[in-house]
Amino acid sequence: MKAMILAAGFGNRLWPLTQDRAKPAIPFLGRPLIAYSVDYVKNAGIRDIIINLHYQGDSIKKALGDGSEYGVTIHYSEEAVILGPSGGIDKVRELLMDDDFVIVNGKIVTDIDLRVAIQSHKERNAIATLVLKENRAREHFSIVEVDERGWISRFAGFPKPSDAAEAGSAPLMFVSIHIMSPRLFDYIPRHCFSDSVRDVYPAAMRAGEAVVGYVAEGNWYEFSTLTRYLELSLFLLHQEGKSIVQGANCQIAPDAVIEDAILWDEVTVESGTTLRNVVLGEGVRIPAGSHLERAVVVRREVALKGPEERQKAEIDRIEETGDNLIVYLK
């Protein structure tokens, strides 16, 4: 069995951290984020991995190499034009036709039991199995509805905050882990952009195919925005009794006050500085006497463009000061 890790996206909602690297290549607790997906499928016994690339693909190659360091073999599929989740699969279909295969997004960290999900998929002879979880917090993830057989019946809208007060079970959400049969290629269009949830699965469902949901337990974290990256990183650090993680070759003044901080490589923090709830990108120097809170800092030379419209909901303001660009979060 093979696995494909999806890593071609632009990562706009993580700007400016993704200005010079792909989202799956950003550091998370001292490792490239995508390394967690590699280990995840490897721990399920899968060592033959395909990774699709488009935006800043070299940053992922640099992070993972040929996979030997992780005990796997990696084949890279480079997309000159971004193809979407199913379009990316179509591009390498000749590598996936011999057996069922797993698709995992490169921006998640999870301990959901993939072996059990694969077993469920095979037992039900499904054309595709989507791993689902209860969205007890009613976060902004699309609702997935299943029928009495466990087959997916509809991809619905987003839960409303008021739903949390209503009686009944929590809505189900898709956690970007799929197990697919090669039969699904009958429904994936050739040589074009396509999306599994919007295009491919509905077509298979209309044809009466078994597109099923596997409702899983376990931890699952998704890193798609600056706020989620900061808050989830700190949440997991706190579980280890820590409040700071720093990369290689950081230099921190002895009198600097740093609490709840994510420091990438080569960061310098000078004397008299106070930092709380911050992310400091690679090579950032924080000048003496600075006070920052709930901020993301990168070098100005890295941040060459402004935020996308959809990011503005979580950004309070942006400042350029000295050598740095500072994004303050709401």
Q: Tell me the per-residue pLDDT of 205-245, one tens digit each, with 9 for 90 and over.
A: 999 999 999 999 999 999 989 999 999 999 999 999 999 99
Is the pLDDT assigned to residue 165 strictly greater than 80? no
CATH H-level superfamily of 2-222 = Spore Coat Polysaccharide Biosynthesis Protein SpsA; Chain A (3.90.550.10)
In terms of CATH architecture, what is 226-329? 3 Solenoid (2.160)
Helix, strand, or coil (residue 187):
helix
Mean pLDDT score, 118-133: 97
* Cα dihedral across residues 50, 179, 140, 153: positive or negative: positive
What was the pLDDT predicted at 9? 92
Q: What residue ranges do the domains of the chain occupy? A: 2-222, 226-329
Question: What are the angstrom distances between the C-alpha of 66 and each of 35, 47, 164?
Answer: 12, 12, 45
Cβ neighbours of residue 313 closer than 8 Å, sequence gap 6 or more? 330
Mean pLDDT value of segment 137-150: 92
CB 84 within 8 A of CB 41: no
Mean pLDDT to the nearest integer, 275-296: 97
- Pair 294, 326: CB distance under 8 Å: no
The DSSP H or E segment spanning 94 is none
Q: Give the count of beta carbons closer than 10 Å to the beta carbon of residue 93.
A: 13
Residue 77 scores a pLDDT above 90: yes
Per-position DSSP letters for 269-297, written without gaps between them: E-TT-EEEEEEE-TT-EE-TT-EEEEEEE
Using pLDDT thresholds of 50, 70 and 90, give the confidence band for residue 169.
confident
Q: How confident is the model at residue 314 (pLDDT cuts 50, 70, 90)?
A: confident
| pLDDT tens digits along 13-52 | 999 999 999 999 999 999 999 999 999 999 999 999 999 9
In this prediction, residue 1 has a pLDDT band, given cuts at 50, 70 and 90, of very high
Q: Is residue 162 within a helix (H) or strand (E), and if so which, with residue range?
A: none
pLDDT confidence of residue 161: 67
Query: Nearest-CA neighbor of 63 among 126, 106, 119?
Result: 106
* Long-range CB contact pairs, 305-313, < 8 A, 24+: 305/15, 305/19, 307/15, 308/12, 308/13, 308/15, 310/12, 310/13, 311/12, 311/13, 311/15, 311/225, 311/226
Strand partners, 122: none
- CA torsion sign, 90 to 95 to 100 to 106? negative
User: Which of 101-105, 242-246, 312-316 is predicted with the least confidence, judged by mean pLDDT?
Assistant: 312-316
Q: What's the CA gap between 95 and 54, in Å, rounded? A: 19
**AA letter at 279:** V
pLDDT at residue 159, rounded to an integer: 87
Evaluate if residue 140 carries a pLDDT over 90.
no
Q: Is the pLDDT of residue 164 over 90?
A: no
User: Closest Cα to residue 52, out of 3, 109, 5, 105?
Assistant: 5
pLDDT at 163 over 70: no
